[in-house]
Amino acid sequence: MRDGRSGNIVIPVFLAILIPFAVTFGLTLFGRARFLSAYERAQGKTPAEAITGAELAREILEKADAGVVEVVVGKGLFADHYDPETKRLFLAKRHFYGSTCAALGIAAHVAGHAMQHRADFRPLFWRLSAIKTTTYFILPLAVLAAGTIVTPFMGKSGLIIALAIWTLINAYNLLTLPAEVDATERARVVVERLRHFRGPGERAGVERMMKAASATYVDGFFRTLSWLASLVVPKLKSL
Full DSSP string of 171-221: HHHHHTTHHHHHHHHHHHHHHTT---SSHHHHHHHHHHHHHHHTTTTTTHH
Question: What global pTM score does this model have?
Answer: 0.78
Report pLDDT for 22: 83
| pLDDT tens, residue by residue, 25-42 | 788 778 778 888 888 989
Compare 232 and 175 and report the one with higher pLDDT.
Answer: 175
Q: Where are the domains of the chain?
A: 11-232
Alpha-carbon gap, residue 140 to 217, rounded angstroms? 19
Asked whether the predicted pLDDT for residue 94 surpasses 60, the reply is yes
Other C-beta atoms closer than 10 Å to the C-beta of 166 total: 21
Q: 77, 76, 80: which is closest to 111 by C-alpha?
A: 80
184-to-7, 105, 114, 190, 210 alpha-carbon distances in Å: 48, 9, 11, 10, 6
Whether residue 72 is predicted with pLDDT greater than 70 in this model: the reply is: yes
Q: What is the pLDDT of residue 238?
A: 41
Among 86-90, 146-150, 222-226, name the one with the lowest average pLDDT: 146-150
